[in-house]
Amino acid sequence: MKKTPFVTKEQIEEIAKTYPTPFHIYDEKGIRENARRLKKAFSWNKGYREYFAVKATPNPFILKLLQEEGCGVDCSSLTELMMSEACGFKNDDIMFSSNVTPAAEYKKAKELGAYINLDDITHIDFLDETAGIPETICCRYNPGGVFKMGTDIMDNPGDAKYGMTKEQMIEAFKRLKSMGAKYFGIHSFLASNTVSNDYYPTLAGILFELAVELKEKTGVEIKFINLSGGVGIPYTEDKEPNDIAIIGEGVHKKFDEIMVPAGMGDVAIFTELGRFMLAPYGGLVTKAIHEKHIYKEYIGVDACAVNLMRPAMYGAYHHITVLGKENEPCDHKYDVTGSLCENNDKFAIDRMLPKIDMGDYLFIHDAGAHGFSMGYNYNGKLKSAELLLKEDGSVQMIRRAETPKDYFATFDFCDILKDVKY
């Protein structure tokens, strides 16, 4: 599927007069429409709710936008809980799914009335000692082995640090019930960024069968089943995106086959999507500022891996559009690089693109999730601004760019650094 930026060269030229590149920009219209498609796809389930994965795009303006569309939040740390609380999320608006969890984080989640998802059976006593067992509790399941769909290996849960075995799930539910828990949830995450309409239905079938078995063997009341994340996006143009309507109907079919005959037709379905919700509706905009002609052709831009780490960290592909040159032939081969003192600081390697001139703006696609959020400050580089393209065409800054003053703020070293003004 051809990737088209949601902004034009002319728009970016105007925006850059106020907000210099690099910056992340998000498409409000696209985000809202996608949230509504997701909600419609699962409207057959009375208790359905999307819990947006805060880790993907931890910005309160984005969270408030999704809150308006009826979403809750999936948190995995103290600061994500605090941000969600500040946005007005509370009680069953929040799903707390973490691992290797410090006591303070369980205490905060319990204080907010969040759904707590236990990653390990040893956390039962830890939670009891630090915060107490809530009335509603969830446990994360790991089936082990290799997760396949047909002949395709999707991921390897047996090597993942998340979740409990089936035997541990049974024991955990029995123990939690004896400790006062009344309502239970099941959660699992088996694969990341699947571009397949079959992933959620396959996972749902596994969890629905587990739910029936757990109910039979423990006698607990299962309130919800959380399919977690894993429904991804196509980063390359040769793949078609997931069809959430087909996915929702596939889960519906499994629900009717497994849950309804077991008398569990009132169990709510939850999702925790981050990438699917935001990635296509955010881009990193950067400007070509240098070119280099040695053994290869290089284009140096004013962004770097600080702004988008995925290509450097995973070798991940992100499509690039040279704004204003969308219809020109891609007849130049470039490495598109940032300025870090690391050779993996490359947004593209041997990428065929139109001829790039200094001052051209590049739109790096699918950076709306796990883009800004994975940033860091290596080489003393500073994180960029985040902007929101509103439905009316106006632009709102939803996070200012970092300054040297921010970088030095945690030092208590000398007056020169304390008194930095910019």
Residues tagged active-site: 341
Cβ burial of 350 (10 Å; 0-12, 13-18, 19+) is: exposed
Amino acid found at 352:
M
Query: Which pair of tokens denotes residue 356?
Result: 């790039």
Complete DSSP assignment for 270-339: EE--SHHHHGGGEEEEEEEEEEEESSSEEEEES--TTT--HHHHH-----EEETT-TTS---EEEEEE-S
- Whether 214 contacts 173, CB under 8 Å: yes
Query: Which pair of tokens denotes residue 3?
Result: 């990737």
CB contact burial 208-232 (16+ within 10 A = b; e otherwise):
bebbbebbeebebebbbbbbbbbbb
Residue with tokens 């040279």: 322
Q: In this structure, how many other beta carbons lie within 10 angstroms of the beta carbon of residue 290? A: 12
- Whether 396 contacts 390, CB under 8 Å: yes
